[in-house]
Structures are given as structure tokens and as C-alpha cells.
Structure 1
């Protein structure tokens, strides 16, 4: 799929694409941080039929709703393409030595060569969390690596 990017002087950026059914959809990212979801007229691609103004919280919610299934789908595709690649969903159990501590304290990548690619908390996905991300009991951690390295991560998160 091709996404077109257009600079809007004094406003920000617009990203547009055409769906498989022929609808033109865009997102205008204002310099102020506001995002507008735009559906264009089929007959006149410069005319917006509908504009939905989103604040930061609404834009984040939409990204999470649309992004979570895509992350899982892409990981599943990667498994089929790369032999030996494994992804696991691991819970941070109550009593984990890393509950309420930054992800960087676990040093997962350094210790195992596996990578934490996402954390799911209360149904919301945090993709590519940084080392300052604080784990909470009940978080689901998505880990990618070999079978052995992901198993080591499970031990680290449960026991330290």
C-alpha cells in the first residue's frame, strides 16, 4: 500500500492512502499535536466528506485499537518467514521482582539476546517500550527471540 505524505505549510503534514474499496483516507497531523481523520469525496479527491478531529488521547486510543492486531499479525508473518524465530506472550506475575520497576532493570536483551517488542496492559498495547517503561503485575510482555532465549526471559520475569 502506498501512503502519500504532503507538507501543509503552517499546518503540519497530511498522510493519505486509498483503501482496497477505493475510498481515500487521510490523517492531518497539525503542528499543535491535533490529528484529523479525513475521508475524501470519491469524485473530488480535494474535498473532504468527513473530518473527525482527534485529541491526543483519542488519537492514541485509535492507534491502539488498530495497531494491536497488526503487531500480532506481523509477528506471526515473521515466524513463517524466519525459521527459529519465536514470540511469546509472558505475564508479569504478582510478586515478580520486576513488577513496579523499569524494564531496563531486567536487562533482558543483554542477558538473553531476546527483545521485548510490546507490552499489553489492560487491553492497551505499548509497542517498542523503552528501558524506562515501568512494568506492572498483570502486564503481558511480548518477547521475540529463539526458543531458548524467550524461555530465559520467562524465568527472568518470574524469578529475577
Structure 2
């Protein structure tokens, strides 16, 4: 599934995707934490059929109901507020030199300047993992830093 991200200067970000059944859905994330849930028209993918305004706490409840860990949501909010900050989930894939090895072995911060702020494994979030945390294939490693640092971390975790 492709997720489109559009910066809305002075407002925040809009994310759009199309479901497997062809419905286009979007979310506008405003700088103050408010969200707008957008349901686009089936006949015109550029026209909204419905807009639901959500306060920050309502958006958190909906995200939790849909299975989104709160840590990842808060990082997305932080990313919107700090210009130049990149946040990305990097997966530990089969063949990664760090599958079965610790975060400390990877020395991510020292080697890339980026920070590992969480690891998501089977839907469970490990916030602020310790250097002794051992990566497993399928882990989603949440990385924060400059765009260059995040890219370097993805490369490091994939190829060493």
C-alpha cells in the first residue's frame, strides 16, 4: 500500500492512501495535535465525501482502537513539530547482520548520529530499548535523527 505524505505549510501534514477496495482515505495532522479524518468520494478521488474533526485525545483513542501503538503516534506528532527531524521504522530482515545481535553491537548513535527510540515486535512496543536489547527478524526499529542519519541507520541494519 502506498502512503502519500503532503506538507501543508502552516497547518501540518496530510497522509492519504487507497484501501484494497478502492476507497481513498486521508488524515490531516495539525501542529496543535488535532486531526481531520478524510473520506474521499468514490466518484471523485479529489473530493471529500466526509470530514471528521478529532481533538488530540480523540485521535489517540481512534489510533489505539485501530492498533497503532501510542509511542509511534507521539513520534509522528514530534516529527510534525520539529523541522529537519526524520522518523522512520526500519525493519530487521532475514540476512541482517544484526538479527540476533544487540542494539549495543550496532552502535547506531555512534556510527550514524541517529537514535533508536523504540522497537516494535509483534505489535508490542519496547520504548527506549537498552543497549542489551537483542534484535529479531521482523522487528520494526523506530529511528529518529536527520534524514541522512536515518538512511545511514537503515543501511547499517540491513548490511552492516
TM-score, structure 1 as length reference: 0.57
For residue 111 of structure 2, what is the aligned residue in structure 1?
A: 111
- For the pair 1:128 / 2:128, whether they are aligned, the reply is yes
Give a deviation string over 1:34-87, Cα, whole Å, max 9, x none. Answer: xxxxxxxxxxxxxxxxxxxxxxxxxxxxxxx79x63212211111121100010
Q: Which residue of 2 aligns with 1:86?
A: 86
Q: Within 5 Å, give how 1:3-82 maps onto structure 2.
A: 69-82=69-82
* 2:141 equivalent in structure 1: 141
Give 1:96 deviation, angstroms.
Answer: 0.5
The DSSP-based 3-state class of the residue aligned with 2:69 is helix
Taking only aligned residues, the RMSD between alpha carbons, in angstroms, comes to 1.8
**How many equivalent residue pairs?**
96
Shift, 1:137, TM fit: 0.8
Provide the C-alpha distance between the structure 1 equivalents of 2:81 and 2:92, rounded to a whole number of angstroms. 29
**Which structure's CA Rg is the greater one?**
1
The residue that corresponds to 2:25 in the other structure is none
**Could you say if the C-alpha distance between residues 124 and 69 of structure 1 is closer, same or farther in structure 2, counting changes exceeding 3 Å?**
closer
SS at match of 2:144: strand
Q: Secondary structure at the match of 1:90?
A: strand
Unaligned 5+ residue runs, structure 1?
1-64
